[in-house]
Amino acid sequence: MRGSMTNAESRDDPDDLPQGALAREAIALAAFDHVVSHAPGFRARGGQREMAAFIAETLSGVKLGDDSVSGEAGPPDRGIAVVQAGTGVGKSAAYAATVIPLALAQQKRVLISTATVALQEQLINKDLPALAALMPQPFAYALAKGRGRYVCRLKLDQLAEGGAQDADLFGEEGAGAASAAAKDDWAQRARQYAQWTIALDQGDWNGDRDRLDEPPDAALWAPVAAERHTCTARHCPAYNSCSYYQARNRLAQAQVIVVNHDLLLATLGLHALPAPSDCYLVLDEAHHLPGVAQGQFTSQMDLMRPGWLDPLPKAFDEVAKAISHRHNLDVAEAARAAKAALGELAHLGMDLLGPAVRELPAEAPPLVHRFDAGVLPPGWAEPLGSLQAHAQGLLKLAEALATQLRANARDNPGEAARSAEHYARIGRFAPRLQSLHETASQWLLMASEGAPPQAKWLQARVDRGLVAMSAHACPLQPGSLLHSHLWQQVRGAVVTSASLVTCGSFDHFLHEAGLAWDAAVATREVQSPFDHAKQGRLVVVQTRADPKDVDGYTREMLDLLLADLRDVKRGALVLFTSRAQMRSAQQLLERGEHARLRERVLAQGEASRTVLLKRHAQRVGDGEASILFGLQSFGEGLDLPGELCEWVFITKLPFASPSDPVGQARAEWLKSKGRDPFSELVVPATGARLLQWTGRALRTETDEATVVCYDARLLRQGYGRRMLQGLPPYRLQRRQAGVTADV
């Protein structure tokens, strides 16, 4: 175990704990031991029980649902177990077999949040059913999905009957889909909607988008997707047959709910999931949490397509008249002023970006302009202030109309259908109005002295021959937002991943996740059961070209890579740091002398990930060599045991893109404080990514694999050696001029 004494470890006197806490700890560990002793084919894993015991100890005294417990409290009233579990520990069984019995004993619930669909499916289809079969006390479990994954029955019925003319009722997305479909035979889409209606009526489909035989494209699905802003909930005439609320009812019966990080953060305060203060929260794949939080708290608005504001006055005025709602807002003037402000901001943006945006190729990445220190040039504040004020006025009116419509639907059931239509007509505008108000507010916000500013930037691209420009704003520190929005509500949690320790320390993750100063946090690093030094090698290749010489390094690295790929007899994975780098490798393989090698390569983007992995397994199973080419998404979550991955080739240290505006803004702010952003941010983040990439090599205790990294900075530079401290203890070797030797 690495690290300093934690809060949980410091509780070395059992007499200091309440008897109830000791009893709960005993219950949790006894349940874990019962499960593993009755699991068929189970092999004892010391690390797994270490993790289970640590979780049981940390959570034993927490007080769920106790409003008297402060969100700043430490143990035993609050407990947050932060666990890095090395590959092979079996972390999902360690936390599930411990936390679930702990919750059941108190008649509480468990919320398990993940970052990827793959882990959600593993939990729902494999881990939780197996655990439920072994535990003496039964429990129900369910998967929570966002509202937009379910069909809105009201929309579906009307579009199945009316076709394109009704699409505008349900928002700009629907209208856009209808417009595009008009060229593509809207009647065919209406027939598809009618088929879905029949499938629902006959019980052949439950309204879940993911349960359709053929996943629908966005243009087909958007007009019928359920949305919060257009939903009157129990006041809707289709409520009793609503797929989303039927799923919500199933969640209400479940003791264990599986969700993703996005939905967890998006629904805080909306009562869609158990309150974090009254359940045990498990965050698996927790290294993704800061990035997800940053995305959740980023606001943006479209500057170039304000036409959606044109029908707003008519819609608001007609609905207000229909329900006899009196108000003092000149809706037409407010919409006109908001549109004019957007036009002025677009004009300022085009002046700022210059001719470069007009010459931008359609396939090029977006052009980004970031405002240094979040300070806007003269002339921006006035249109932003106008936009903020008028968007706020329209939002308040929309909320007032929605409130009255809900009351009408409740008090006059016979008018529920008409009220639902009015509600949808108003609700279609709410998300866009919120985007305008939030983004304008963030752009006008000036940081208080000493506090980090907002990252503010413009982004432009060419879309079907037209310039598309958007304004974005994002807080610089996701940790502070997570602390205030999530952790202050949490009483008992497990935070786990295989890559929380970077450069030998939890510090970077704890700071980014908002846990660095939380008194309830206890950390533990549980080592992998693998013998990395015996099972694997990490070979660092010394190139003549410096990696900073992009062209020279890429040419030399690719020559070395292709030579190494000829030694592959079974499965291999090549991880590239950019699409351009991978494309260069593919182009090199097109040459005649590499034709045979090219036949072995399966590159990301040639087919879906599922199809590529199936082909890869088929080839290796047939005794052939198969080589996967991939980018960052292939560096995490791929489980390729045994011969499926005997080699991992890393083309370069996986630093984040230097063009990321949020990263640039954070670096700028740290520099202004005399701090080193490269050391504080870049190196730990790259170390975490490298840990994931090298972790693709060994997946079981019988695997043998070699990791080859062509970036000698890993050994040559001090920051590279810092990254090495956080990697598994592979046998370390250096290759120079074709000669390989131990380091």
Residue 75: predicted pLDDT: 87
334, 464: one domain: yes
Positions of the chain with pLDDT under 50: 1-18, 163-181, 183
Residue 51: predicted pLDDT: 97
**Bond before 355 cis per omega within 30 degrees:** no
Q: Is residue 241 part of a domain?
A: yes
Residue 14: predicted pLDDT: 42
Burial class of residue 212 (count of CB atoms within 10 Å of its CB; 0-12, 13-18, 19+): middle
Residue 6: predicted pLDDT: 42
134, 220: one domain: no
Q: Is 231 annotated as a binding residue?
A: yes
731 in Cβ contact with 539 (< 8 Å):
no
269, 401: one domain: no
Residue 270: predicted pLDDT: 84
433 in Cβ contact with 391 (< 8 Å):
yes
Q: Is residue 125 part of a domain?
A: yes
100, 151: one domain: no
577, 649: one domain: yes
597 in Cβ contact with 562 (< 8 Å):
yes
Q: Is 236 annotated as a binding residue?
A: yes
Residue 56: predicted pLDDT: 96
578, 718: one domain: yes
Tell which phi-psi region holds residue 740, choosing left (phi > 0), alpha (psi between -120 and 50) or beta.
beta
Residue 42: predicted pLDDT: 66
Residue 184: predicted pLDDT: 53
Q: Is residue 3 part of a domain?
A: no
Q: Which amino acid is at 17?
A: L
Query: Which pTM value belongs to this model?
Result: 0.89
CA-based nearest residue to 705, from 524, 573, 512, 565: 573
Per-residue CA distances from 526 to 54, 85, 88, 280, 359 (Å): 10, 5, 10, 21, 53
Kindly report the backbone phi and psi dihedral angles of residue 309, in degrees, each rounded to the nearest multiple of 5, phi listed first. Answer: -75, -20
Q: Report the CATH number at residue 683.
A: 3.40.50.300
CA-based nearest residue to 356, from 346, 347, 370, 368: 368
508, 359: one domain: no
616, 502: one domain: no
316 in Cβ contact with 426 (< 8 Å):
yes
Q: Total structural domains in the chain?
A: 4
Q: Is 645 annotated as a binding residue?
A: no
Residue 181: predicted pLDDT: 41
Q: At what angle do helices 550-565 and 579-589 cross, to 10 degrees?
A: 50
715, 596: one domain: yes
Residue 602: predicted pLDDT: 98
What letter would DSSP give residue 709?
Answer: E
Domain limit, last residue, from 494, 526, 558: 526
483, 621: one domain: no
Sheet arrangement for strand 466-474: 299-302, 466-474, 455-463, 367-370
Domain that holds residue 566: 532-742
Q: Is residue 11 part of a domain?
A: no
450, 364: one domain: yes
Q: Is residue 8 part of a domain?
A: no
123, 242: one domain: no
Residue 570: predicted pLDDT: 97
Domain limit, last residue, from 526, 547, 564: 526
574 in Cβ contact with 616 (< 8 Å):
no
Helix (H, G, I), strand (E, B) or coil at 515: coil
Q: Is 474 annotated as a binding residue?
A: no
Domain limit, last residue, from 526, 541, 563: 526
Residue 369: predicted pLDDT: 94
Kindly report the backbone phi and psi dihedral angles of residue 337, in degrees, each rounded to the nearest multiple of 5, phi listed first. Answer: -65, -40
Q: Is residue 6 part of a domain?
A: no
Q: Is residue 4 part of a domain?
A: no
Q: Is residue 538 part of a domain?
A: yes
